[in-house]
């Protein structure tokens, strides 16, 4: 199932509401199951450098159908797959990229950047379950 615009907008709204409630100006990217951008918003005062990070977190989660943080465990210097970090245009292996699920089915992916890794995860989590 592919993420529809209405679902992407709902995920975005939920993520932005969480960002506002915790006082984080975030960049939020939502991609489809093929990694193509479906929806993006840069909140007022969000860091410009976080634009690409948010998108890459969503794409990293999409490429491995798991959270970007889980992918990060394979990217650590001591991990056997450390070189994997340089594949697919660069992977981002820390908190903030998650699958978006609707009726327990993955329909897309969300990536958030702008706060601490824990804040990014909190914001992404808010937009990940529809």
Question: Would you give the distance in Å from CA 65 to the centre of its chain?
Answer: 12
Query: In tens digits, what is the pLDDT along the chain, a chain of 130 residues?
Result: 899 999 999 999 999 999 999 999 999 999 999 999 999 999 999 999 999 999 999 999 999 999 999 999 999 888 888 788 889 888 999 999 999 999 999 999 999 999 999 999 999 999 999 9
Q: What is the pLDDT of residue 80?
A: 80
Strands (E), 3-122: 27-31, 37-42, 97-102, 105-113
Contact 41, 111 (CB under 8 A): no
- Taking each continuous run of H as one helix and of E as one strand, the counts in the chain are 4, 4
Q: What is the pLDDT of residue 130?
A: 94
Residues 6+ positions from 65 with CB-CB distance below 8 Å: 99, 106
Paired with 5 in beta bridges are none
Q: What is the pTM of this model?
A: 0.95
Q: What is the pLDDT of residue 119?
A: 98
Contact 101, 130 (CB under 8 A): yes
- CATH classification (class only), 5-126: alpha beta
């Amino acid at each position: 199932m592919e993420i529809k615009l209405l679902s992407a907008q709902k995920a975005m709204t939920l993520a932005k509401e969480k960002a506002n409630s915790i006082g984080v100006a975030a960049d939020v990217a939502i991609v489809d199951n093929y990694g193509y951008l479906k929806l993006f918003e840069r909140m007022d005062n969000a860091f410009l450098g976080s634009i690409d990070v948010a998108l890459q977190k969503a794409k990293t989660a999409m490429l491995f159908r798991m959270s970007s943080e889980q992918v990060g465990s394979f990217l650590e210097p001591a991990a056997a797959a450390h070189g994997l970090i340089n594949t697919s245009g660069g992977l981002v292996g820390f908190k903030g990229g998650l699958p978006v699920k609707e009726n327990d089915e993955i329909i897309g992916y969300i990536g958030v950047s702008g706060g601490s890794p824990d804040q990014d995860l909190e914001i992404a989590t808010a937009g990940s379950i529809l």
